[in-house]
Structure 1
């Protein structure tokens, strides 16, 4: 990885026809040499020479040797009573959350329909007021008892005249209400006690991920790169912002980050906008699109990881190989690192923990983006033949350990000091979602719709 570079000033600079999932794309590419067999033809013999994976697009992250041996100091663990929005809070700032040193399975609960070949589970559950709220693959919203996992209610958010299905959306909790955004292009406010609908509002298109709620505004991102701000009280549209239309992107949920003074909108075009909360006007603009393209996948500039606002700085990572830190107020770029990923960076103390496109878990310095350590997570279930690509989600720091979940049905606990794997957990199902933590309990939602609690 090239050393991060400082920049004195900020750089200014269609509805999708396809949604590409990184795991699906990996499977398709890894099986290209078998396509002719589907049509009854004998495949040609493979060409001689060394095979190089088209998925490995980036240079490996290199540890800054000046940081070797320096301690990774963590903040004191704090018990968070809620995980009310995607990323935990509107800012998506992490920290060190309270959790047992050796969490064990406490219960399993059912949130509804699991993922299938045509529909996906895209959003993590949220926890607030003693209840867990989650959206399943059929756009049903369920409430579970936080203590036991028992389902309390479940409702269908699908519009009355809609017969098909849709993926996308998710839920958030704020101001005593549950807000559900859907792939049907609607936002619905629900009573958390029984799931009854308080209001529903149509937005310009299918929603990518869960809403972000801040300052009485419900913020939703649509597939055509439009951010809409609705009134949390009645759903009235307050303003909207349109990014560049993009015809291709990664399958998955993403949400805006919000503080009282700034909203950060991540678009599938690689654009990152800082917007004024009161009117949606542009405060600054950045781009995470690759400057140098080293392969076909680098053209996918999508921002899938949630942007993070913390200590006056915005942190964001894009799929095409760029991670940046930006001054929240004026948009000056503070540093840049040649790291690509689709997971949300986790900030704690003076370090940032992030998973790269090459399944590396990296600890970066907050101040300059230099790598303190790098741990290679297993990229394949069959590493010898490079088959069975694994997607790792996370990380999250809880109880002084980093937790990541894998599509291979494993959860790992790692040391934040050096990235060493400390514990391996077997999950009841594969998952493409990161764990969440609230009230000294860690939750993992599997592809089969089963929610597992560890405490």
Structure 2
């Protein structure tokens, strides 16, 4: 119970200020009451194309284990170390690997997989990357389900690894960034040390760009820019702006992963600002707007979608940062980060509902409850199919119906 309590407190202390629930081991106290499920008539028909079990899921822990895919397979994992590959067409299970069987996890409660999944698709296979709170990084052959290498960082890892060419980048919960060789997992360099004692237990993954630099957020509200070759800090950009009279209200972590689109960079802080930057001159923002979030934004050709700490969903125009629309009908429903799927923005909530919002207006177009265990990580969109994992470990492939059947 102590481990569960630690997860909940670190993750939810900051969220309580902005409207999430603060939970203990044996009871839960609602800081703000979620609004009821919005009532509206579905305007598009949705179906679960297939679903499969992914072990025990993440339960009540805050392990950000989103699914990932390549051209043929969908990958998903459980906190306890079960890793699966499924056929994208019909959900048939292709292989299963149990990382809890590795020797380093014998004296642990479990493998405690918390960071992942990341996929590097190669010509002959895919490299599937995961990381754990026990400090291990794992690389798995995507075609065979065999462990290729593992590396012990000595640091707790909560976020998904990132890969760029022949290097894998991993950010620890203490703000140390590691560069590993993608072929054998050997360490190339390590840099940074986030010494903040009071911070959100967050999910900001590093973002490498064009073999040149790595972007990652810090607990003191900054965006670090590090040279990929040597791990040298090149620049820091202030994003979070602390305010308030208490340490809790002054939290300003950059927990959402930066988003890079061509030569544009977008970054948002918990208690600060949403900035649009140019990679050519990131020290001078193209625009700055007042939004707060710990969820990684999503984007399409023209807009950036964000979910704030109150469960409100926004679309911001990329060119000037002006607000295209807002949807505030999911207040305090612990809404996930967004995903663009065709002409829709898709989000989930704590009761296991998926919502399709019109990407042009923000209006609801459909909702579908998968199961009541809840959805914690953002949906993942692959063309017309959305993949989502629920807390109890069910993986769903959801898409718009193409026939004339009516929606239940």
* Other-structure match for 1:142: 84
Give the 5 Å matches for 1:18-167: 19-21=10-12, 25=16, 26-28=20-22, 102-117=45-60, 119-158=61-100, 159-160=102-103, 161-165=106-110, 166=112
- Which ranges in structure 1 are unaligned for 5 or more consecutive residues? 1-15, 36-52, 57-100, 380-388
Q: Distance in 2 between matches of 1:409 and 1:443?
A: 13
CA shift at 1:163, angstroms?
2.7
Question: Any idea what the Cα deviations from partners look like across 1:266-324, whole Å, max 9, x if unmatched?
Answer: 22332211122222222221133324337654322222222101132211111113211
Q: Distance in 1 between matches of 2:378 and 2:168?
A: 23
Q: Does 1:201 align with 2:151?
A: yes
User: Do 1:262 and 1:328's aligned partners in 2 also have CA atoms closer than 8 Å?
Assistant: no
CA shift at 1:102, angstroms?
4.3
Give the 5 Å matches for 1:19-418: 19-21=10-12, 25=16, 26-28=20-22, 102-117=45-60, 119-158=61-100, 159-160=102-103, 161-165=106-110, 166=112, 168-174=114-120, 175=122, 176-260=126-210, 261-293=212-244, 297-334=248-285, 335-379=287-331, 389-418=332-361
Any idea what SS the aligned residue of 1:392 has?
coil
User: Do 1:19 and 1:249's aligned partners in 2 also have CA atoms closer than 8 Å?
Assistant: yes
Q: Distance in 1 between matches of 2:135 and 2:294?
A: 24
* Other-structure match for 1:384: none
Q: Does 1:447 align with 2:391?
A: yes
Question: Any idea what the Cα deviations from partners look like across 1:381-406, whole Å, max 9, x if unmatched?
Answer: xxxxxxxx411113212121111111
CA shift at 1:125, angstroms?
0.8
CA shift at 1:18, angstroms?
6.2
User: Do 1:394 and 1:433's aligned partners in 2 also have CA atoms closer than 8 Å?
Assistant: yes
Question: Any idea what the Cα deviations from partners look like across 1:144-174, whole Å, max 9, x if unmatched?
Answer: 2222223222222244133323352222121
CA shift at 1:344, angstroms?
1.5
User: Do 1:243 and 1:267's aligned partners in 2 also have CA atoms closer than 8 Å?
Assistant: no
- Which ranges in structure 2 are unaligned for 5 or more consecutive residues? 1-6, 34-43, 400-408
Which protein is bigger by CA-based radius of gyration?
Answer: 1
Q: Distance in 2 between matches of 1:356 and 1:236?
A: 38
Question: Any idea what the Cα deviations from partners look like across 1:26-73, whole Å, max 9, x if unmatched?
Answer: 33389xx999xxxxxxxxxxxxxxxxx9779xxxxxxxxxxxxxxxxx
Q: Could you say what the CA RMSD is over the residues aligned between the two structures, in angstroms?
A: 2.8
**Aligned to 1:428, which of 371, 374, 386?**
371
User: Do 2:180 and 2:186's aligned partners in 1 also have CA atoms closer than 8 Å?
Assistant: yes
State how many pairs are aligned.
367
User: Do 1:304 and 1:343's aligned partners in 2 also have CA atoms closer than 8 Å?
Assistant: yes
Query: RCO higher in 1 or 2 (8 Å CA, sep ≥ 6)?
Result: 1
Change (3 A) 1:20 1:291: closer
* Other-structure match for 2:381: 437
Any idea what SS the aligned residue of 1:21 has?
helix
Any idea what SS the aligned residue of 2:21 has?
helix
